[in-house]
A and B are shown apart, each in its own frame.
Chain A
Amino acid sequence: MISVKNLKKSFGDNEVLKDISLDVSPQEVVVVIGPSGSGKSTFIRCLNMLETIDSGHVIIDGKDLTDKKTNINEVRTDVGMVFQHFNLFPHKTILENITLAPINVRGVKKAEAEEKARVLLAKVGLAEKASAYPDSLSGGQKQRVAIARALAMEPKVMLFDEPTSALDPEMVGEVLEVMKQLAKDGMTMIVVTHEMGFAREVGDRVIFMDNGYVVEQNEPKALFDAPQHERTKAFLSKVL
């Protein structure tokens, strides 16, 4: 589904991603962990070209993003993204937030898009908020809307960049619950998170990144219980 080959990325002189390769199969849930500044966000943002790629290849569902002939907007409709700070559109209602892209990008009819949006809203437990504005929602509710908004494009892959880091602790659970359900439904997911419980329970594979490299990857249980590398051990001892 996703194939990353020798991906490199610098900001000026600062080489943030130093040769990353990774394959993700359909329906797999990959959790990315690592210390602050290790390049997790940059990596996940390269997967839908929110960051330009310096060298290497990112192939999503057979399409190479670095190929000039690839229509990046088309690829992005297949790759949903959920941000740490939600980034809902404050001038639109919840329903409009969800239908905006299907109507304008996919060309779905308004009535059809709205019907689908209501189904998604019900799925994330916010059916009654359809006509509310984002400002009136709690952080956890906003993030659930953001997930519904991404799902409305019927993506083949979902990317999450620390989806619960900006939330008050009591709201983390409701968002993780939605993500858990999504994984159960068979969505291919890449999740950057500090929620080790989620990684252990939902992840098929955990990637430990440090300093621009994938240092170690394994099944959650193996990686958490028996890390092989010193840096992984040092990191885990701090967060577990």
Chain B
Amino acid sequence: MDFRFDIITDYMPFFLQGLKVTLGVSLAGVLAGLVLGLFIALGKMSTNRWVRLPFNIYINIFRGTPLLVQLLIIHFGIVPLFMSPSNPVISLVIGLSLNAAAYIAEIFRAGIQSIDKGQMEAARSLGMTRVQAMKLVILPQAFKRVIPPLGNEFIVLLKESSLGSVLAAPELMYWGRAAAGQYIRVWEPYLTVALIYLVLTLSLTYLMNYVERRLSTDDKR
């Protein structure tokens, strides 16, 4: 079998451009997902069941349906209501954020509920409101515990951003498919793309491990 490195070198500028989009979209998705996810987690833990209900529905819908379906509905159904023509990168960011928020909300909720309930009681017994107790006592402790599962979620999100290629969002996978189509070749473009994803996820894994180690040594002060 001949392996045509020239395809890879020809397409390298596009792959690098796609890499930038992949990173940008993933980062935006993570940040929006974190904020939204925390909000949903707190909503889902409300003491009022009617307040909890919409948050539960949200989480169930976004975790219970395929991301690809969500992206198609958002890109071809919802975003066109607000802009035309609809921009695939924007649709991708919205879809990834909304989807990640559902998973991140569950990560936050588990983290918050893993904190001993004596912490909340001690804070409340000192006269703090529920919000103060959350902000000053519970969340700072919960954040450390959610770092590992959040790391996993970031890696998942980075890989799932490749679904943007279906919407023709010019991210890494999109350019992989373009090269494959243009040269009618499988191995060169897809292997290259896979390798770039692998480097990204391994770097993220390494980074998360580093952060975790730092936090656990901090604990032993």
Residues of B with C-beta under 8 A to A136 = 221
Q: How far is the CA of A80 from the CA of B136 in the complex (A)?
A: 19
Residue interface bits A50-87, CB-to-B below 8 A is 1, else 0: 10000000000000000000000110110111010101
B127 touches A153 (CB 8 A): yes
B128 touches A101 (CB 8 A): yes
A76 touches B122 (CB 8 A): no
B78 CB to closest chain A CB (Å) equals: 41
Residue interface bits B119-138, CB-to-A below 8 A is 1, else 0: 10111111111001000110
Q: Which residue of A lies closest to B127 (CB)?
A: A77
Question: Is B64 on the interface with A (CB-CB < 8 A)?
Answer: no
Q: How far is the CA of A61 from the CA of B137 in the complex (A)?
A: 28
Question: Is B201 on the interface with A (CB-CB < 8 A)?
Answer: no
Residue interface bits A22-36, CB-to-B below 8 A is 1, else 0: 000000000000000
Residues of A with C-beta under 8 A to B122 = 81, 83, 87-89, 146
Residues of A with C-beta under 8 A to B6 = none
A56 CB to closest chain B CB (Å) equals: 21
A153 touches B124 (CB 8 A): no
In B106-150, the 8 Å CB interface with A consists of: 116, 118-119, 121-129, 132, 136-137, 140-141, 144
Q: How far is the CA of A87 from the CA of B144 in the complex (A)?
A: 18
Question: Is B10 on the interface with A (CB-CB < 8 A)?
Answer: no
Question: Is A104 on the interface with B (CB-CB < 8 A)?
Answer: yes
A104's contact among B116, B128, B141, B221, by CB below 8 Å, is which? B128
A90-B141, A91-B140, A91-B141 are contacts. A73–B127 as well, Cβ < 8 Å?
Answer: yes
Residues of B with C-beta under 8 A to A135 = 219-220
Q: Which among A80, A101, A136, A153 has the highest number of chain B CB atoms within 10 Å?
A: A101
B124 touches A76 (CB 8 A): yes
B118 touches A105 (CB 8 A): no
Q: How far is the CA of A73 from the CA of B128 in the complex (A)?
A: 6
A87 touches B118 (CB 8 A): yes
Question: Is A213 on the interface with B (CB-CB < 8 A)?
Answer: no
B121 touches A77 (CB 8 A): no
Q: How far is the CA of A88 from the CA of B119 in the complex (A)?
A: 7
Question: Is A40 on the interface with B (CB-CB < 8 A)?
Answer: no
Q: Which residue of A lies closest to B135 (CB)?
A: A104
Residues of A with C-beta under 8 A to B144 = 91
A101 touches B116 (CB 8 A): no
B116's contact among A50, A74, A87, by CB below 8 Å, is which? A87
A166 CB to closest chain B CB (Å) equals: 11
A74 touches B141 (CB 8 A): no
A91-B141, A133-B221, A135-B219 are contacts. A48–B136 as well, Cβ < 8 Å?
Answer: no
Q: Which among A87, A105, A106 has the highest number of chain B CB atoms within 10 Å?
A: A87
B127 touches A74 (CB 8 A): yes
Q: How far is the CA of A136 from the CA of B125 in the complex (A)?
A: 24
Q: How far is the CA of A100 from the CA of B136 in the complex (A)?
A: 8
Q: How far is the CA of A133 from the CA of B116 in the complex (A)?
A: 17
B146 CB to closest chain A CB (Å) equals: 14
Residues of B with C-beta under 8 A to A146 = 122
A81 touches B141 (CB 8 A): no
- 6 examples of A-B residue contacts, CB within 8 angstroms: A73-B128, A83-B121, A87-B118, A100-B137, A104-B132, A133-B221
Interface residues of B (CB under 8 A from A): 116, 118-119, 121-129, 132, 136-137, 140-141, 144, 219-221
Closest 4 CB pairs of A and B: A77-B127, A87-B122, A101-B126, A87-B118
